[in-house]
Amino acid sequence: MTFVTDRPLSTSVGVSHPLEPLTPDEISAAVAIARAQPSLGDRVRFATVTLKEPPKATVLSFQPGDTIEREAFIILLDNATAKTYEAVVSLSTGEVKSWVHIPGVQPPIMLDEFVECEAAVKASPEFLAAIAKRGITNPDLVMVDPWSAGHYGIADEEGTRLSRALCWVRSSPTDHGYARPIEGVIPVVDLNKMEVIRVEDYGVVPLPPKDGNYTPEYVKNYRTDIKPLEIVQPEGPSFEVKDHEIRWQKWKIRVGFTPREGLVLYDVTYQDGEHERPIFYRASLAEMTVPYGDPAPHHYRKNAFDVGEYGIGSLANSLKLGCDCLGEIYYFDGFITNSKGEVVQIENAICLHEEDFGILWKHVDWRTEQAEVRRSRRLVVSFIATVGNYEYGFYWYFYQDGTIQYEVKLTGVVSTAAVMPGEIPKYGTLIAPQLNAPIHQHIFNVRMDMQVDGGNNSVYEVDIVPEVDEHNPYGNAFYAKSTLLPTEQTAQRLIDPMQGRYWKIVNSSKTNAMGYPTAYKLMPGENTASMARPDASVSQRASYMSKHLWVTPYHEDENYPAGDYPNQHPGGEGLTQWTQRDRPVADTDIVVWYTFAHSHSPRAEDWPIMPVATIGFMLKPLNFFDENPANDVPPSPAKNACCH
């Protein structure tokens, strides 16, 4: 991250579109306006400074040259009073439009707090005594990860901004610290006071004996039989970028970036002849929850909400420090603040590039011996975040046939715990001597503000079912059965791969050439159920995990499936609260929320660095077009063909 300093304050910055992210000047101006409020002391932290998106109707009616009122949305925490505020400031007028105290909530844990929390732990005499019992005499080699505390109805914790820190120790400054957990020692930190209020000690467990190093200074015997594989585009990429708008072949996509969600997509359309046809208005990762399955007293509270409790965007990698993209790459920077309100530039936060993706379509006419094949190319828009031990890559893929895919790539380091010599853990896997990787899940929810061919859509559940006997004399008949999901309660659904279940988002007022209503279908990929009991704390706080599909009518204040402030919240907010009204969701402006879960039972091969695991879903056109929209993709040049 790069700090951006010495920028002039400005409340009038020209931008090309209402959804352009805040510029550094605008962020600085917003912070200065907020700081002028008399209710704030000198210990205020800025948890969020981001664009206050204009009303959807304003954006959809925008024409180049229209006046844009720019607003910033700010979440502030006053450490001195433990109060949280939400503010909306006008960057056009330099005024505060709203200023509200939000009682009883905790903003996400900020990156500055990570650093300060580690320092507070290492300065605690009680913690130093606890690690001395384990033979650790150099606290400089201790690693402290400030985990969120969750909510377990403990009276002493109510109203206190907490972290339950997990700790490891390195054998040297560059050693892989996650190889040696300081088992059973949990410093509990008041983050407002930045003081250790207690150290939980569940008994001494020896440090695991084996290193887990993986960097070049430790790995000497690399493979020698790998020949170069180069991705080149001698004429440059096929996409064009103007500010934050991308045009690639028939796709138009606008990208944004927030400290909470990271990459956001807006106004995704596909050019079909003379018509630019919308598919969705806004899409982003709205929440992800990582519940662990070990009931031990020092592990059962490991339930991280990486979007709502930390802000996945604020943890985004600068891809200057290592990029997984190949070919001709275009980068977008991300601009956020640290908790002091200083502008921070995440250089190369978002990666844009093209990839070859094998066969797009092929047919050989054996009578004429004519063969036609087209290669598939996809556009990739992605970012990567590091959350403590884990890395998550978030990828949107756009294909030439109108398909959209969302994929999460999971890698990094599994969370580790130490066990006694000879102990075989029930709720995890031994990945090295005395080193346990507990079983856990990664549960994601993507919010998609749909706009399939226009503003009013409906959702149908489609199952492939056998025909009833009276119409099925030969026993071979089956068909796609579509069932309308007319209200919020009926639209809370689970996957059913045994019936090939998918959901289609339909515009009943538009049809293709055959008279079918135009639609996109949501096709589940890998998925599973949440393993926590319904009465578990994490299930109450992340109740969105109970269903794979949710559908709500659009409301500008309904953005996060576990509520606006899941950090230390008891639960019951978000999707389960909103949908109690059972509002109609047929033929209206709808939001589709899809939940998908990766259940990770670790294996030895996940250590010391976990090979990438992938999970996600697809959105495919369903009678949206009159024919294959990729018929016009040209053949590959002979010099690139397989049989030249």
Whether the CA torsion 215, 220, 225, 228 is positive or negative: it is: positive
Question: How many whole angstroms separate alpha carbon 334 and alpha carbon 332?
Answer: 7
Token readout for 184 is 């059973």
Cα→Cα distances 212→177, 413, 610, Å:
8, 10, 12
Question: How many whole angstroms separate alpha carbon 247 and alpha carbon 254?
Answer: 9
Whether residues 127 and 66 share a domain: the answer is no
Domain total for the chain? 3
Q: Is 306 among the catalytic positions?
A: yes
Cα→Cα distances 93→12, 29, 65, 66, 89, Å:
8, 11, 19, 17, 9
Whether residues 60 and 161 share a domain: the answer is no
- pTM score, whole prediction: 0.96
pLDDT score recorded for residue 472: 96
**Tens digit of pLDDT for each residue in 288-345?**
999 999 999 999 999 999 999 999 999 999 998 777 788 899 999 999 999 999 999 9
Token readout for 505 is 């988002």
pLDDT score recorded for residue 641: 54
Residue at a domain's end among 148, 177, 201: 201
484: in domain: no
Q: In what order do the strands lie in the sheet with 83-90?
A: 44-51, 71-78, 83-90, 95-101
Whether residues 56 and 120 share a domain: the answer is no
Q: Which domain holds residue 340?
A: 239-454+504-640
Whether residues 96 and 130 share a domain: the answer is no
Q: Is 632 among the catalytic positions?
A: no
Whether the CA torsion 76, 81, 82, 84 is positive or negative: it is: negative
Tell me the CATH number at 171. Answer: 3.10.450.40
Residue at a domain's end among 201, 222, 251: 201
Share the mean pLDDT of the chain: 95
Whether residues 364 and 425 share a domain: the answer is yes
45: in domain: yes
Whether residues 580 and 616 share a domain: the answer is yes
219: in domain: no
472: in domain: no
Question: How many whole angstroms separate alpha carbon 410 and alpha carbon 416?
Answer: 16
Q: Which uninterrupted H or E stretch holds 30? A: helix 24-35
Classify 372 in phi/psi space as left (phi over 0), alpha (psi -120 to 50) or beta. beta
Question: How many whole angstroms separate alpha carbon 21 and alpha carbon 76?
Answer: 19
233: in domain: no
The single-letter DSSP state of residue 308 is I
Whether residues 70 and 162 share a domain: the answer is no
Residue at a domain's end among 40, 74, 101: 101
Q: What is the dihedral of CA 67, 73, 74, 75, to 10 degrees?
A: 180
443: in domain: yes
212: in domain: no
pLDDT score recorded for residue 10: 38
**Rounded (to 5) percent helix, strand, coil in the chain:** 15, 40, 45
The ranges of the chain with pLDDT < 70 are: 1-13, 638-644
Closest by alpha carbon to 86, among 95, 98, 70, 69?
Answer: 98
Tell me the CATH number at 318. Answer: 2.70.98.20
Whether residues 155 and 30 share a domain: the answer is no
Contact by Cβ (8 Å): 329, 323:
yes
Q: Which of 270, 300, 390, 502 is catalytic?
A: 390
Q: Which of 25, 145, 306, 606 is catalytic?
A: 306
Whether residues 26 and 55 share a domain: the answer is yes
Whether residues 79 and 115 share a domain: the answer is no
Task: Name the pairing type of β-strands 435-438 and 417-418.
Answer: antiparallel
Cα→Cα distances 185→12, 15, 32, 390, Å:
52, 51, 41, 21
67: in domain: yes
Whether residues 127 and 266 share a domain: the answer is no
End-to-end CA distance of the chain: 47
Location of structure tokens 């892989």 = 176
Whether residues 399 and 536 share a domain: the answer is yes
Contact by Cβ (8 Å): 450, 280:
yes
Contacts (Cβ under 8 Å, ≥6 apart) of 75: 46, 47, 48, 84, 85, 86, 107
pLDDT score recorded for residue 6: 41
Closest by alpha carbon to 616, among 384, 385, 406, 381?
Answer: 406
